Structure 1
Amino acid sequence: MKKRIVSAVLCTAMVAGSLAGCGSKKAEETTAAATEAATEATEAAEEKTEAAEGETEAAAEAGSYDTANMPEVTLVYAEVNPLDTIVGQMATDFKNKVEELSDGKITIDVQASGVLGSENDVLDTMLGGGGTIDMSRISAFALNSYGAKKSMLLSIPYTFQDRAHFWNFATSDLAQEFLTEPVDLGLGVRGLYYGEEGFRHFFFVNPATKLEDLSGLKIRVSNDPVMTGMVSGLGANATVVSMNELYSALQTGVVDAAEQPIANYYSNAFPEVAPHLLLDGHTLGAVQVIITDEAWDKLTEDQQAILMEAGKYASENNRANSENKENEVLEQLKADGVTVTEVEDKAPWKEACKAVIDENTADQAELYQQILDMAD
């Protein structure tokens, strides 16, 4: 279009030159007017082109999906915690964004508060096939027991110095390798995105304020070798209890303590039976959302892209909101009379866990060091 405008300007100039050669004052005036008009037209055309290019770029960034011809699909999403927790809010953010981007053609049916079973129950169902659960939010290291060795590194105690350290990892190319590890192993699921629910801390039925107080206590853990080894290293007795049974286990003395992120501790009413919180921050509550290959393969390319875009949105919201939410809950716990003790020096705790750290990172030492090096 610009070429045509430039040609018009040149032609006008040539005509104007011929008229000027005849000594016509009127021709000179006509030439000036024509040139000015052509210049204005050129500038207007350029502005219009730039505006159109900007609109195209904006549309590309926003994502454009063919929802008119998109088949309708419902995906069942399992969440073991209530919707008012940090991870529950992440599920809601994901659901809302997916349904918005798909114009309602994709429905995310969030089943929260563990109604579909414990995390291990959900994973067994998903890995076993059958299609009753399509998606789930899991602990980032929940697939350790199923052979996902890379994800085990995220559960190593005292790995992440702070939240910024974790998010440096979660937004890196290396994190994508971790998410696709289940695919490489043929487990039948794949990771979509990361989130976090804050650092995990111990809480007790009876007062405990220092490392020595853990000696001989029965501490609930999930069925995970790293967690079991960590608790043993700290001098306590690791006891495997499902999340759904933890409240009664604390109430009846089956266990003396457990560990959870602060928001989950509060939302599951654990302060009622274990009102002593010890902030040691042994592990960051890194989480990921996974989907079965069976469900993923049934989606169109646009639907898959929508899930990825919504996952990025939910992850970014989680990053922005989790620390504020955690701080609010902590203040509420203190107001409710929970005893909160901050561990000032974590070096003895980390030293006590040295054996489990070394044992579970030895065969992936270089990869683990890459994670450590991501600290600011």
Structure 2
Amino acid sequence: MTAKKTISLLISTTLLFTFFSCNKKSATTQEKEITLVMAEVNPPETLAGKTDLAFKEKVEELSGGKIKIDLQFSGILGDNSTVRKLITQPNSTIHIARQSTAGFVALGCKSYALLSIPFTFSSREHFWKFAQSKTAKKLLQEPRERGLNCIGLFYGEEGFRHLFSTKKINGVKDLEGLTMRVTNDAALQAIAKNLKMNQTQINFADLYGALTTGQVDVADQPLSNYLANHFDEVAKNIILDGHQLGIMETFITTEIWDSLSEKQQNILLESGRYASEYCRKISEEEENKILKQIEAAGVSVVKVNDIGPWQEALSDFIKETSSGDMDLYKEILSYAH
């Protein structure tokens, strides 16, 4: 055998060895057990909590226990703003988090502002048609496109958000002069301003105490969160204005996502679809059950027969916010049909 042939054979053998070694390493990496830390600000009995659990259980089932979700409830890992700050920065100790899309508007996710515009979604059916659309899937990528350290996995909803208060409320006029708890969500601030309320920013964890002391008269939550966080004990008046749908999005850090194999990514995506569908099936049923429960407990529940005055009060804000991307907003509205 010539020296040239010997060298050629050695090179070929080395390449084959490297190829099979890399494949073996890749396969081993795919099979390696991993634990992903997931944060939830609400208790497990809420709609958000139940959706999280459905996701966790499906991930662990489909992965044969190779992917474990360390799910922490009730704000143990921090309030929403703390968690959001962590997952949008490198080297986050939290890998997955269920968040409101509204919280990402201040971080530059401009399209999410359209989802928070009051009275955008006319019904649950409207939202779920949107959530299953190509439009919605594209929006899941926006955080990464904006330079944040995460992407969306799937959507959910907590039901429509309603105003609740320590004071009796029968209509728009009764809100004037009261103090409302707001967040950094521009839509929530606009609701307080345009309904002629004072406003103050209070962390969710401090809201119960603020209602008790009179620091806050009015706040808003979906019914599931209202009951689970015991606000019925200190604010026994709800008006069902349904000003926003509580849109949830479950995010994962891009560092973790990019480190996963294609098989692992598909497990998370399939589990997300499962959890999203689970949320869709139980949301209205849960809300109706809670409504009966709080009425039986003596909470004053006022239904809004004419939403016109509420929409009129917020019409300027709706026009101003939607004008930033009117084509996309019209696309979102079109799913109502």
* Same fold by TM-score greater than 0.5: yes
String of CA shifts for 1:51-85, please: whole Å, max 9, x gaps: xxxxxxxxxxxxxxx89951111111111100000
Aligned to 2:56: 95
**Residue 90 of structure 2 corresponds to residue 114 of structure 1:** no
Q: Is contact 1:276-1:338 (8 Å) kept? A: yes
TM-score, L = length of structure 1: 0.81
Task: Say if 1:191 and 1:289, in contact at 8 Å, map to a contact too.
Answer: yes
1:187 is paired with a residue of what secondary structure?
A: coil
Q: Which residue of 94, 117, 127 maps to 1:133?
A: 94
Change in CA separation of 1:355 and 1:98 when aligned onto 2, cut-off 3 Å: same
* 1:164 equivalent among 121, 125, 139: 125
**Equivalent position of 2:244 in the other structure:** 283
Unaligned runs of 5+ in 1: 1-65
Q: Deviations 1:99-130 (Å, cap 9, x if unpaired)?
A: 00000000011111111111111011111222
Q: Could you tell me which runs of 5 or more consecutive residues in structure 2 were left unpaired when the two chains were aligned.
A: 1-26
Contact 2:162 2:240 in 1 (8 A): yes
Find the aligned partners of 1:353 and 1:187 in 2 and give their Cα distance.
Answer: 31
* Matches of 2:237 and 2:44, distance apart in 1: 24
1:358-373 alignment runs, 5 A limit: 358-373=319-334
Partner residue, 1:258: 219
**Following the alignment from structure 1 to structure 2, what is the Cα–Cα distance between the partners of residues 270 and 303?**
40
Larger radius of gyration: 1
Contact 1:131 1:295 in 2 (8 A): no
CA contact (8 A) 1:67 1:105 kept: no
Flag as ranges the 4+ runs of structure 1 deviating above 3 A. Answer: 66-69
The whole-number CA distance in structure 2 between the counterparts of 1:367 and 1:237 is 32
Which residues of 2 match residues 181-196 of structure 1 at below 5 A?
181-196=142-157
Counterpart residue number, 1:222: 183
CA shift digits 1:4-54 (9 cap, x unpaired): xxxxxxxxxxxxxxxxxxxxxxxxxxxxxxxxxxxxxxxxxxxxxxxxxxx
SS at match of 1:146: coil
1-side partners of 2:28 and 2:220: how far apart? Answer: 44
1:238 & 1:295 partners in 2: Cα distance? 38
AA matched with 2:64: D
Residues 119-150 of structure 1: CA distance to partner in whole angstroms, max 9, x if unpaired?
11101111122231001000122100100000
For 1:241 and 1:301, how far apart are their aligned partners in 2? 41
Tell me the equivalent position of 2:207: 246
Question: Paired residue for 2:315?
Answer: 354
Residue 261 of structure 2 corresponds to 300
Q: Per the alignment, do residues 68 and 134 of structure 1 end up closer, same or farther by CA in structure 2, a change over 3 Å counting?
A: closer
Q: May I ask how many residue pairs the two structures share in their alignment? A: 311
> Is this contact kept in 2: 1:203–1:259, CA < 8 A?
yes
Q: 1:274 aligns with which of 235, 249, 253?
A: 235
Pair 1:153–1:300, CA change in 2 (3 A): same
1: CA distance, partners of 2:281 / 2:103 = 24
Whether the aligned pair in 2 keeps the contact of 1:219 and 1:236 (CA below 8 Å) is yes
Which residue pairs with 1:176 in the alignment?
137
- What is the aligned counterpart of 1:319 among 260, 263, 280? 280
Structure 1 counterpart of 2:162: 201
CA contact (8 A) 1:77 1:134 kept: yes
Q: Helix, strand or coil for the counterpart of 1:219?
A: strand
1:323-342 alignment, distance < 5 Å: 323-342=284-303
**CA deviations over 1:192-240 (Å, ceiling 9, x no partner):** 1000010000000011111001101111112111210122111112221
Q: Which amino acid aligns with 1:289?
A: T
- Aligned-residue RMSD, C-alpha: 1.2
Task: Point out the more displaced range, 267-276 or 228-237.
Answer: 228-237
Contact 1:77 1:136 in 2 (8 A): yes
Q: Which amino acid aligns with 2:101?
A: A
Deviation at 1:171, TM superposition (A): 0.4
Q: Deviations over 1:144-170 (max 9, x none)?
A: 010000011110001111100001110
Query: C-alpha deviations, 1:322-363, integer Å up to 9, x for none?
Result: 110111111000010100000110011001001211121111
Match of 2:270 among 301, 304, 309: 309
3-state secondary structure, aligned to 1:80: coil
- C-alpha spacing 1:75/1:371, structure 2 compared with 1 (3 Å): same
Distance 1:325 1:212, change over 3 A: same
SS at match of 1:290: strand
Give the match for residue 49 of structure 1.
Answer: none
